[in-house]
Structure 1
Amino acid sequence: MKYLKNYFGGIYKDRYVLRSLVKQDLQMKYNRSVLGVAWQIITPLGLSIIIGLIYSIIYGVDPKGFIPILFSGLNPWVFLSGSADGGTFAYISAEGYLKQTQVNPQIFPIRVVTVNFVNLFYSMLAYFVVFLILSPSSFGLSMLMIIPGLLIIYLGGLTLANMSSAITIHLRDFQPLQSLVLQGLFYVTPIIYTTSMMDDKGFSIIYRINPFYYLINAVRSPALGNDISVATIEECLIVLAVTFVAFLISAIITMKNNHGIAMKL
């Protein structure tokens, strides 16, 4: 409990520093960029259109129905993978702050995740515009389930960033290793294909034991306008509970790792 109290207490103490850093990162990211934040929309949308058209040729799928599935899956994946990768540099890029100030280290993984979450928010807004054009009849109140879905995926991203930042302090080679693992996870997670494709081949176990599938589905399912059922709510609550526990564990590990962190950089 002491670690968790210090973790949240430090975040509250440095909340203005955190807000300033996030604002600074967003401004620097799009500084002198002609399209700016539009790149957060163009990239996943462009990939979705390209993959959707290729799949329509090879597998005969309807791109009108498949592009929203791709777009709604790529957006949360980019957030999760970006949070994990960003976590490996969270402390290293903040070396000056950590060695010259008394700021609490745990705000730096949060900084990375929050910047990525803002980008996710923009991307999902673009997704809903595209989805409204392609499938206006699918819009409904069930889409409000994306609110707890976004909370779940934010906690998931923060868990990944906390863990990767803690590991990188002791193992600088972790970043390329993590990138390799994430690349493999991308292909075994139903992002550029549907779960039914895996079910038809008898490999449904591959995604059912994959935590990334449930994190992404927490956003993707309501974004596609899927109906809310008792089973859907139960799954959402279970994923939220598991993700929250994982986040608390990562927070404890973060605080144990923070002792003398400036000397480890």
Structure 2
Amino acid sequence: MKEYFIGIWRDRYVLFSLVNRDLQTKYRRSVLGIAWAVLTPLGLVLIIGSVYAIIFGVDPKEFIPLIFAGLNPWLFMNASADGGTNAFISAEGYLKQTTVNAQIFPLRITIVNFINLVYSVITFFAVYLFLQPQLFGPKMLLMFPGLVIMFLFALSLANFSAVFNLNLRDFQPLQSLVLQGIFYVTPILYQPEMLAKKGFEFVYKINPFYYIMEVVRMPMLGKELPEGSTYLIAIGLTCIFFIFSVAMTMNTKKGIAFKL
């Protein structure tokens, strides 16, 4: 574990340079540039929120923020896991020709996606302030510890994806399929109570993503905070995932160049 962080610190300038280059490349020659990081999730949420509000017969003013607060964190975790599959492969030149530490590449993917998440969260609060200004309060500050937990969880996913796809190139489509299934069984487009009323509470209770989502989404909405047990489970799961992902990354590190 110590070696993992020492390597990141040693190559921090390389990491920052790569993150900056990724952000510039993504929006190069785009008229709106970084604004797409805001407009894309906003447009997606407005479309999905409006349709599902009609289907479920609920007030769009309440339903759209609910989806916005859940969908954007999910997109961050999904993008980190998906991007992680090519973290080592796309860095083949660095890993074969330099002594740069391999662990910075999944972190690079996670940081870039986290920056996009920050932009979408700012947009969420701008929309929420317009729709439900009375709900703004100090409870929302607990979103920040939740974001730290989510960042480490997403980094763990990126680490796992990078290692698995390095050894099995069929892992990426398999992961996409699994994550798509998890998306629908995770209360993102609907309230957890909807599953509980039908006797399927266990579906989200055994889902790690549910707990990671809740410690961010509930504070963002400002209505109520997650239970202490939810925080404990989210922290416990994140620590376990992160430790195992670091161990796998460091064990794979020495042989990466031969597998590329």
Partner residue, 2:120? 123
2:68 to 60, 68, 71: 71
Note the C-alpha offset of 1:234: 4.1
SS in 1 for 2:85: helix
Structure 1 residue ranges (4+ consecutive) displaced by more than 3 angstroms after TM superposition: none
Residues 107, 155 of structure 2: 8 Å contact kept: yes
Partner residue, 1:59? 56
2:248 to 241, 245, 253: 253
Partner residue, 1:5? 2
In 2, Cα distance between equivalents of 1:75 and 1:109: 20
Note the aligned Cα RMSD (angstroms). 1.2
Residue type at the aligned position of 2:241? A
Gap regions ≥5 residues in structure 2: none
Note the C-alpha offset of 1:249: 1.4
Residue by residue over 1:185-213, the C-alpha shift from the partner in whole angstroms, topping out at 9 and shown as x without a partner, is: 11111111111211222111111111111
Taking structure 2 as the reference length, the TM-score comes to 0.97
Partner residue, 2:143? 146
1:169 to 134, 156, 166: 166
Instruction: Give the direction of change, closer, same or farther, for the CA distance of 1:238–1:59 in structure 2 (3 Å limit).
Output: closer
Residue by residue over 1:107-134, the C-alpha shift from the partner in whole angstroms, topping out at 9 and shown as x without a partner, is: 0000000000000000000000001000
Residue by residue over 1:152-174, the C-alpha shift from the partner in whole angstroms, topping out at 9 and shown as x without a partner, is: 10001000000010111110010
State, as a whole percentage, how many aligned pairs show the same letter: 58
In 2, Cα distance between equivalents of 1:211 and 1:34: 39
Farther-moved stretch of structure 1 (75-84 vs 232-241): 232-241
SS in 2 for 1:192: coil
Farther-moved stretch of structure 1 (14-23 vs 37-46): 37-46
Residue by residue over 1:35-92, the C-alpha shift from the partner in whole angstroms, topping out at 9 and shown as x without a partner, is: 2222222222222211222123222111110000000101100000000000100001
Note the C-alpha offset of 1:227: 2.9
In 2, Cα distance between equivalents of 1:183 and 1:227: 28
Residues 208, 237 of structure 2: 8 Å contact kept: no
Partner residue, 1:207? 204
Partner residue, 1:179? 176
Count of matched residue pairs: 260
In 1, Cα distance between equivalents of 2:230 and 2:193: 19
Residue 235 (structure 1) aligned with residue 230 (structure 2):
yes
Farther-moved stretch of structure 1 (188-197 vs 74-83): 188-197
Residue type at the aligned position of 1:239? A
In 2, Cα distance between equivalents of 1:154 and 1:63: 29
Residue by residue over 1:197-252, the C-alpha shift from the partner in whole angstroms, topping out at 9 and shown as x without a partner, is: 11222111111111111111111010000334xx6244224312330232011101
In 2, Cα distance between equivalents of 1:25 and 1:44: 19
Gap regions ≥5 residues in structure 1: none
Note the C-alpha offset of 1:21: 0.6
Taking structure 1 as the reference length, the TM-score comes to 0.95
Farther-moved stretch of structure 1 (113-122 vs 51-60): 51-60
SS in 2 for 1:226: coil
SS in 2 for 1:89: coil
Partner residue, 2:258? 263
In 2, Cα distance between equivalents of 1:187 and 1:237: 24
Residue type at the aligned position of 2:242? F
In 1, Cα distance between equivalents of 2:201 and 2:16: 42
In 1, Cα distance between equivalents of 2:92 and 2:103: 13
